[in-house]
Amino acid sequence: MLDLTPWGELSASDISEAKICVMGVPFDGGVSCGKGAAEAPARIRSLSRYLPPYTEEMLRIDGRLYDAGDIPLDLNWERYYGNVEERAFELLSSGRFCLFLGGDHSVTIPLQRAWLRAARARGEKTGVIHFESHADMCEEYDGSKWSHACTERRAIDEGLSPDDIAFVGLRSYEADEVNWFLEHPNVMIKRARDIFREGCVAAAEQLVGKFADYGSVYLSLDIDVLDPAFAPGTGTPEAGGLSSRELMEMLKLLLPGIPIKAMDIVEVSPPLDTANGITAWAALKLIYEALYYSK
């Protein structure tokens, strides 16, 4: 019988029963192009009612999931980010794997700040894997330091070393981002073209090699890392991206091989999606595979 509760059989009514925590951040005030990502948490939850708790290999997802709900929208941007950070910090401090549903990519700014606080409190070496078509390394964009184009630059402001970030799927850059990468030649970049030429397994194995000795890694997944053929419903689509198959294979290697303690999935825009919600469905499939392989 179909369970119409969001997350179905995986859902836990209390955090004490759960291995995994989920929180929604329905905010798209940092978008520079197509909006609508604020609607993604509700859409993903709605579709989750129809997925049974199994991976594609018929492996049952054994961890229960506690959904902490959404952070209510606040027109005061600074206060909203503060609320996101504090609630995320509470969940991250529980020691459970945390999944955050955006929202545009600017919501990763307070989420990564919370994750860094929690990881540093435990004395863990920290790293970030940034799946994206864009680098999000602008000092500011459209006059804002909190734009979705500034995500990882703000993480560096919080003390994360450039050497502790890996960028995956890149294929579009602003001029100041190009200059930044030229100034930091040792930063790991696996461009979409690199993955096409070398293979997704080889790329994932290189990432595992880089981050295997870290204590806590944050994986930020912008759905536009996928080619628009697989994820048309996003605000700034870029041709030439990864396939759904390639991304799933990479997650299946990264999550067991690296201590990924938190993950977000952002920039899914239901209003820009196709009639049958192909982008939201792709995001949900990635989430379910990630839930199984998360530690």
pLDDT value at residue 3: 59
- Give 165-206 as a 3 state SS string: EEEECCCECCHHHHHHHHHCCCCEEECHHHHHHHCHHHHHHH
62 within domain boundaries: yes
3 within domain boundaries: no
Instruction: Quickly tell me which residue has 């970049």 as its tokens.
Output: 189
- Per the structure, the count of domains in the chain is 1
pLDDT value at residue 101: 98
Exposure string (b/e) for 111-132, b if CB count within 10 Å is 16 or more?
bbbbbbbbbeeeebebbbbbbb
48 within domain boundaries: yes
2 within domain boundaries: no
How does DSSP classify residue 251?
H
Q: Are 181 and 165 in contact (CB under 8 A)?
A: no
> Which pair of structure tokens corresponds to residue 119?
């990881």
pLDDT value at residue 30: 57
99 within domain boundaries: yes
Q: Helix, strand or coil for residue 264?
A: strand
28 within domain boundaries: yes
Chunk the chain into consecutive blocks of 10 residues (it has 295) and report each block's average pLDDT, rounded to whole numbers.
77 94 88 81 96 94 93 89 97 97 94 97 97 86 71 92 96 90 95 97 98 97 97 94 98 97 97 93 96 90
pLDDT value at residue 204: 98
CATH number reported for the structural domain that contains residue 37 in this entry? 3.40.800.10
1 within domain boundaries: no
Q: What angle do CA 14, 16, 17 make, to 5 degrees?
A: 75
Q: How far apart are the first and last CA of the chain?
A: 29
* Furthest C-alpha separation in the chain: 57
44 within domain boundaries: yes
Range of the domain at 70: 8-293
pLDDT value at residue 1: 47
